[in-house]
Amino acid sequence: MRGGRSTVATRSSAKKRRPTRAVAKTANPSAAGTPAPVLVTIFDYVRFAAARLTRARVTVAHGTTDPVAEAAFLVGEAMHLHPDEVEPLAARRVPKAAGRRILGWIEQRIATRKPAAYLVNRMYMRGMAFYVDERVIVPRSFIGELLDSHFGGDDVLRLRDPATVTRVLDLCTGSGCLAILAARAFPNATVDAADLSADALTVAERNVQEHRLEDRIQLAQGDLFAAVSGKRYDLIISNPPYVDAQGMASLPHECLAEPRMAFDGGADGIDLVRRIIDGAKTHLASGGGLLCEVGRCKPAIEKAYPRADLLWLDTEESEGEVFWIDAATLADCAPARHPVGTA
């Protein structure tokens, strides 16, 4: 569903292994009478964990792209490694304590179907680590990539010169990850991060403190723009709830561990998106713009706002799931009118 994913690959080491090896025993062998796997290196554990996750048919949708990447993520956390370090260090031996931690997490992941990020209380976006728990959705927004790719030095892709952005609003901030990424992308900006959930803001506060951005990020509780009444911004970013009723009825088990309010976008998925588009008109400064993620709701958005000049942006892993609209265009953006007697 989301982006900013960690795509860690693994490969075997060319070095010869020592003839004597430790044998790691799992609490739940995959088949009766099957010998316990021989696990020594990071590569061994990633390969074993990926096979277990694949056989168990877990849903991978929380910051990793496949069972191998998820296995590498968990092994890396047990070894206190950044995801980018796992592959280069694949031949490193895993201490017994870390090995037990890995095997425990894998069995817990399969038994509970909780997202891996909740098991280790960590997820990465754009290389940065964030604390997460069940009070917030696991961060996986495509907006993080767009902050890097469309607000940099490339004049063709650039939506706005980052040096001129001084006021940013992150609506539905959750864990605060996008607000923190925005503070990194726009060094001259202060950021307001708003959410309706007090629990989510507690998590966001922890992340803001861990990244030492208390002087630049202000947290606000409230219902969308009500949390920042009267303020105007150069940039508004939002990754709001956008799952429609059909999608809510078929959420995978892993997603049920996350806050329902972080998903539920109403019958067609865009209840909050409509309010964001309509409210942004009075909260954007001249020359500003709205960057909003809507998942697969592009058809619903275009139906609701047929005359809106929306710029749909692609990322490495998405097509048309995030739109940009500038303040001048937004001022003329009106929702579709329905004939009397129609819904």
Domain that holds residue 280: 123-331
In whole angstroms, give the CA distance from residue 195 to residue 297.
21
Helix (H, G, I), strand (E, B) or coil at 193: strand
Is the pLDDT at 342 greater than 50? The verdict is no
Residue range 224-275, pLDDT digits in tens:
999 999 999 999 999 999 999 999 999 999 999 999 999 999 999 999 999 9
CATH number of domain containing 201? 3.40.50.150
Do 131 and 250 belong together in one domain? yes
The average confidence (pLDDT) of the chain is 87
**What's the residue count for the chain?**
343
Q: What is the pLDDT of residue 62?
A: 86
How far apart are alpha carbons 321 and 23 in whole angstroms? 46
CA distance 230 to 226: 9
Which residues does 177 contact at the CB level (< 8 Å), separation at least 6? 4, 123, 125, 128, 130, 139, 141, 144, 207
pLDDT-derived band at 203, boundaries 50, 70, 90: very high
Residue 149 sits in the same domain as residue 284: yes
| Confidence check: pLDDT of 147 > 80 | yes
pLDDT in tens, 288-305: 999 999 999 999 999 999
What's residue 313's pLDDT?
Answer: 94
Report the number of distinct structural domains present in the chain.
2
Question: What percent of the chain lies above the pLDDT cut of 90?
Answer: 76
The verdict on 133 and 203 lying in the same domain is: yes
Cα separation, 22 vs 140, in Å, equals 37
- DSSP H or E stretch at residue 86: helix 83-86
Does the pLDDT value for residue 30 go beyond 80?
no
Q: Is residue 93 part of a domain?
A: yes
190 and 161, same domain (yes or no): yes
Q: Is residue 336 part of a domain?
A: no
In a domain, 343, yes or no: no
Residue 103 shares a structural domain with residue 165: no
Instruction: Band the pLDDT of 65: cuts 50, 70, 90.
Output: confident
152, HSE (Cβ side, Cα atoms, 13 Å)? 10
User: What are the tokens at 282?
Assistant: 């009075």
- Do residues 78 and 105 lie in contact, with contact meaning Cβ atoms separated by under 8 Å? yes
Claim to verify: residue 100 and residue 249 sit in the same structural domain: no
Contact 279, 335 (CB under 8 A): no
Same-domain status, 114 and 129: no
Residues 106, 138: one domain? Answer: no
Structure-token pair, residue 214: 């208390």
Q: Which residues contact 18 (CB under 8 A, 6 or more apart)?
A: none
Q: What is the mean pLDDT of residues 313-326?
A: 92
Q: Could you tell me if residue 75 is inside a domain?
A: yes
Q: Answer with the residue of higher pLDDT: 318 or 4.
A: 318
**pTM of the full structure:** 0.85
Q: Same structural domain for residues 39 and 185? A: no
Do 142 and 95 belong together in one domain?
Answer: no
Same domain, 131 and 279: yes
